[in-house]
Amino acid sequence: MPADAKTNDVLEAPRLGEPYLLTPGPLTTAFSIKEAMLRDWGSWDGDFRGMTAELRRELLAIAGDESGQYDCVPMQGSGSFSVEAMLGSFIPRDGKVLVLMNGAYGQRIAQTLNYLGRAHVSIDKGDYMPPRGSEVAAALDADPAITHVVVVHCETSSGILNPLEEISEAVYSRGRKLLVDSMSAFGAVPAGVGDFRYEAIVSSANKCIEGVPGFGFVIARKSELEAAKDRSHSLSLDVHAQWAYMNKTGQWRFTPPTHVVAAFLAALRLHRKEGGVAGRGARYANNRDVMVAGMRQLGFETLLGDEWLSPIIVTFFSPAHPNFSFERFYELMKARGFIIYPGKLTVVDSFRIGCIGQMDSHVMQKVVAAAAESLAEMRVDTATPPALALAERARLAA
């Protein structure tokens, strides 16, 4: 359903007057989601146990688990907590991991594996080039000791959406297992059990479902959950222990983020109302297209070609104009009601603009207008990037 067909109570402007968060999460949430946090819940009470059960069922439904082979395990903390929980619970201590890296979050996975003492190698594509299935296949053929492959679905360092279908095919055709960090994609990009094969996938409450920060969740094969018993390095990040305890008691093992769970259930209702993954993804893609077209009209250039642009966040090269300063641009955009994101590229300067959260095409048009006004106030008459940036993009295209 087009964004313009949404009702006002779904996509209304922030009632408290706060800026829009043009980031990959936390993000701008609906007022009804904030309202859901206004009452208290007993963490052991039957009502809250019912809320936890509903949360798990709803997420399995989004993942399309019709055969009952998977289960959902929410975990307290930020998304990185759930990623570490997945790695420490599903990778045997004598396993070996191939990490597919093309940005900061792939690097964080490798760093986590160092802490966990899990053997690993990597395919590092730099800041923003996608790992391809053929490269994964070659690496697995060359090293039979590799048991698992781990990949970030949407690498928000650059905004690239990695090609999970071909990666999964390469992994399973060679008898290995795939673990997916879908932190910034699940809920808006196809990532169900029928879209590509995986053993486990993780995401977070404050991403494309549009809840607030406080917990992540692991969706995993029940066979993998059963095999994870006594494997975790951590008491609090033991996915098997959390799963077993929830199935036995309906409760979280340790104090749950009760208000965040209530907000997430409200967010899930809005997600269903919008048409699920397809509807949410269509709005985000429309946000991206409107915003990118407008920014290009101002002279900005995207890091990625259209075929690699995700509907989550877009990286733009900073203008070469001597009057341009990202710090100044950031403050001017914030003063106009929009918080943008700094870049993470190592070769050239850049910044990022998110497409997710309670925003539609009308908001993105205002983002472009704010960017134009900010450039004018900085006396930047062209947003053309430096030649080095365009050379980097040409290298990527090649």
pLDDT tens readout for residues 113-168:
999 999 999 999 987 789 999 999 999 999 999 999 999 999 988 889 999 999 99
More confident residue, 380 or 3: 380
pLDDT at 5 over 50: no
Question: How sure is the predictor about 346, in pLDDT bands with cuts at 50, 70 and 90?
Answer: low
Q: In terms of CATH architecture, what is 20-27+276-397?
A: Alpha-Beta Complex (3.90)
pLDDT at 175 over 90: yes
DSSP 8-class letter at 105: H
3-state secondary structure of 157: coil
Amino acid (one-letter) located at 359: M
**CA-to-CA distance for 363 and 331, rounded, in angstroms?**
18
**pLDDT tens for each residue of 246-290:** 999 999 999 999 999 999 999 999 999 999 999 999 999 999 999
> What is the β-pairing status of strands 341-342 and 350-354?
antiparallel
**CA-to-CA distance for 333 and 339, rounded, in angstroms?**
7
**pLDDT tens for each residue of 354-397:** 999 999 999 999 999 999 999 999 999 999 999 988 887 787 66
Which H or E run contains 298? Answer: none
Question: Considering the chain, what percentage of its residues have pLDDT values greater than 70?
Answer: 96
Specify the pLDDT at position 343: 85
Q: Tell me the average pLDDT of the chain.
A: 94
DSSP of 311-380:
SSEEEEEPP--TT--HHHHHHHHHHTTEE-EE---SSS-EEEEE--SS--HHHHHHHHHHHHHHHHHHT-
- Structure-block tokens of residue 352: 């990022």
**CA-to-CA distance for 345 and 326, rounded, in angstroms?**
14
For 317, phi and psi rounded to 5 degrees? -70, 140
Specify the pLDDT at position 7: 39
As assigned by CATH, the class of the 37-272 domain is: alpha beta
Amino acid (one-letter) located at 236: S
**CA-to-CA distance for 20 and 195, rounded, in angstroms?**
32
Which among 241, 270, 227 is positioned nearest to 357, based on CA atoms?
Answer: 270
Question: How sure is the predictor about 398, in pLDDT bands with cuts at 50, 70 and 90?
Answer: low
**pLDDT tens for each residue of 92-120:** 999 999 999 998 899 999 999 999 999 99
Specify the pLDDT at position 396: 67
Residues of 154-172 as b/e, b for ≥16 C-beta within 10 angstroms?
bbbbbbbbbbbebbbbbbb
Specify the pLDDT at position 2: 39
**pLDDT tens for each residue of 50-65:** 999 999 999 999 999 9
Specify the pLDDT at position 129: 85
Domain coordinates in residue numbering, the chain: 20-27+276-397, 37-272
Strand-pairing partners, residue 316, are 302, 351
Based on DSSP, count helices (H) and strands (E) in the chain, helices before strands.
14, 14
pLDDT at 8 over 50: no
- Structure-block tokens of residue 5: 């067909």
